[in-house]
Amino acid sequence: MTSPSNLRALIAEDEPILAAALLQALQRLWPELQIIASVDNGLAVVEQTLKQRPDILFLDIKMPGKSGLEAAQELAEEWPENEAFPLIVFVTAYDEYAISAFEHAAADYVLKPISDARLGKTIVRLQERLQQRLQQNSDGDAALERLIGQLHNMQPRSSAEPLTMIRAAVGNQIRMIPINDVIYFEASDKYINVVTADSESLIRTSLKELLPQIDSRQFWQVHRGTIVNLQCIQMAIRDESGKLSLKLRGRSESLTVSRVFAHLFKQM
């Protein structure tokens, strides 16, 4: 981890005035902190964070291109193992998210506009977390685990009955696929590939839109682009590097499990 005298942060905020205000406040309240970049969309957040490896990320939740939550999840999946994951401070103008989930788990969660008094508390909390990392010689896994918990707590939930049938267009026909026959869903550009034991069909939707409509007791998301039917998992296999993959019933291919979802396969 970067030494306390050389800490680096990245600001992700799509509103220029608010980004400038946050930058100026940080320079005033925490002059030792180096602001290495300020970006205004979720795609740039992922690119610049992976490239520049900041210690701290001030991350607006609602941004064009990719939301802050989506960017955080992608970063968690792509972040190099054995490197400290950035401490993330989620920033938003809305309190519609599960703020309570952050009270104990997040590095911090602040509402706009951020006052100096509130930002001061955030800085103290960040400094304490960073000091703990140094004392414990942490590799960042604890921070990553906290982030994973936050992301799962913030997933949308639906009170409607889950889907029982998938309607997929095949030429000029509509194929009716019972949900129980689906082995896994795989994102493919603007489509989802619906895979069964003997067929593959494309539907025009996203995993984000599909997830709230299917039974979470039957289907698990195991990667940013993959949802799998639990009944079709034969076994989870961990390779020498620690990466998990799933062997499936009725299919020859295996599915990769990202770090974000690896906790689902911890031994009971």
Kindly state whether residues 13 and 115 are assigned to the same domain.
yes
Decide which of 91, 121, 153 is a domain's last residue.
153
Kindly state whether residues 149 and 169 are assigned to the same domain.
no
Kindly state whether residues 143 and 170 are assigned to the same domain.
no
Domain hosting 175: range is: 165-264
What is the enclosing helix (H) or strand (E) of 116?
A: helix 116-136
Strand order of the sheet with strand 34-39? 34-39, 8-12, 56-60, 87-92, 108-111
Residue 158 belongs to a domain: no
- Give pLDDT, residue 137: 55
* Spatial distance between the Cα atoms of 119 and 209, rounded to a whole number of angstroms: 35
Q: Identify the CA nearest to 162 among candidates 186, 178, 148.
A: 178
- Give pLDDT, residue 104: 43
Kindly state whether residues 103 and 185 are assigned to the same domain.
no
CATH number assigned to the domain comprising residue 129: 3.40.50.2300
Averages of pLDDT over each 10 residues, the chain, 268 residues: 77 94 95 96 96 94 86 84 84 65 60 89 92 66 61 60 88 90 92 92 89 91 92 92 88 88 77
CB crowding 103-132: b at 16 or more within 10 Å, else e: eebbbbbbeeebeeeebeebbeebeebbee
- Give pLDDT, residue 37: 95
Question: Residue 19 corresponds to which amino acid?
Answer: A
Residue 61 belongs to a domain: yes
Kindly state whether residues 145 and 169 are assigned to the same domain.
no
Kindly state whether residues 170 and 126 are assigned to the same domain.
no
Residue 20 belongs to a domain: yes
- Give pLDDT, residue 142: 59
Kindly state whether residues 177 and 250 are assigned to the same domain.
yes
Q: What pairs with residue 176 in β-bridges?
A: 167
Kindly state whether residues 109 and 170 are assigned to the same domain.
no
In this structure, the dihedral spanned by the alpha carbons of residues 232, 234, 239 and 244, taken in order and rounded to 10 degrees, is: 30
Residue 65 belongs to a domain: yes
- Give pLDDT, residue 192: 94
Kindly state whether residues 24 and 142 are assigned to the same domain.
yes
CATH number assigned to the domain comprising residue 221: 2.40.50.1020
Per DSSP, 114 falls in state P
Kindly state whether residues 12 and 126 are assigned to the same domain.
yes
Decide which of 90, 124, 153 is a domain's last residue.
153
Kindly state whether residues 46 and 142 are assigned to the same domain.
yes
- Give pLDDT, residue 145: 61
What is the DSSP code string of 32-97? TSEEEEEE-SHHHHHHHHHHH--SEEEEESS-SSS-HHHHHHHHHHHSPTTSPPPEEEEEES---S
User: Number of structural domains, the chain?
Assistant: 2
Kindly state whether residues 112 and 55 are assigned to the same domain.
yes
Per DSSP, 261 falls in state G
